[in-house]
Amino acid sequence: MGPAKVAEPCPKNFLQKHSKESKLPARKKEKDSKKLPALSVPRRTDHPVMGIQSKKNFINANAVAAITGLPKKPQPVYVDRRQGDKYLLETSGLVPKYIKKKDYGVTPKYVIRKNEEAKRAEKEYEASILEHLKKRAMKQLSDEERRSLLQGLKNNWEEVYREFQGLSVEIDTIPKKIHKEKLELQMKQLEHDIEVIEKHKVIYIANE
């Protein structure tokens, strides 16, 4: 109980500046350090080579270069307002750089590869379905048979609908109610069959 009994610090052992920082070891002098090569300064006795002359006519060469050279195109700039300052057009973001790329509008290779894989998988699936159907002795309806079947179902629906329209307004007997319900069921079944045939282009039927 009470305050902790610790030794009182000595006033001479005070915390000094930078005393807790880690100190690096002293750098050792390299004995075998390579010296830099001496600068090649010309001596006082060295003289420049004199008497070298060129037979090139710089005036005519410059004139020919100026005549045959292409004119320098001005740097494209834009102005933000009528009396505003000029800014470079290249770095303004107004130049359509993206649509001028070589691969712009080209389908990526990974998309082409993915589409080819999807088509290959679809063909394999169709081949497996055909093989399975052949094993189960089923055949595929041709387009002409499918159209004729669809037209026959529509004709049957029109006949049933015509008969349904010919019913009396007042259905007061049980036979009339049964006949009406029968016609409604036939119409619903025909509508379902027509929808199925129109939705599926390929239809298989079992051989009898």
> Which of 113-122, 145-154, 166-175, 190-199 is the least confident region?
166-175
| Global confidence as pTM | 0.35
Indicate the helix (H) or strand (E) that contains 165.
helix 143-165
* Residue that is last in its domain, among 136, 162, 181: 136
Band of residue 51 on the pLDDT scale cut at 50, 70, 90: confident
The answer to whether position 95 is within a domain reads: yes
- The answer on 122 and 79 residing in a single domain is yes
Residue 138: strand pairing partners: 206
The answer to whether position 170 is within a domain reads: yes
Backbone angles phi, psi at 140, to 5 degrees: -100, 135
* CA angle in degrees (0–180, nearest 5) for 184-187-193: 140
- The answer on 153 and 131 residing in a single domain is no
State the Cα torsion 137-142-148-151 to the nearest 10°. Answer: 100
* Residue that is last in its domain, among 136, 152, 183: 136
Check if the beta carbon of residue 148 is closer than 8 Å to that of residue 141: no
- The answer on 196 and 155 residing in a single domain is yes
The answer to whether position 52 is within a domain reads: no
The answer to whether position 46 is within a domain reads: no
pLDDT tens profile 84-136: 888 888 888 888 888 888 888 889 999 999 999 999 999 999 888 878 777 66
Burial of 100 (0-12, 13-18, 19+ CB in 10 A): exposed
Q: Which residue has the tokens 């039927």?
A: 205
Instruction: Domain count for the chain, please give it.
Output: 2
Residue 78 belongs to domain spanning: 74-136
Q: Is residue 32's pLDDT more than 80?
A: no
Average pLDDT of the segment spanning 40-68: 88
Q: What gap in Å lies between CA 125 and CA 118, rounded to an integer?
A: 10
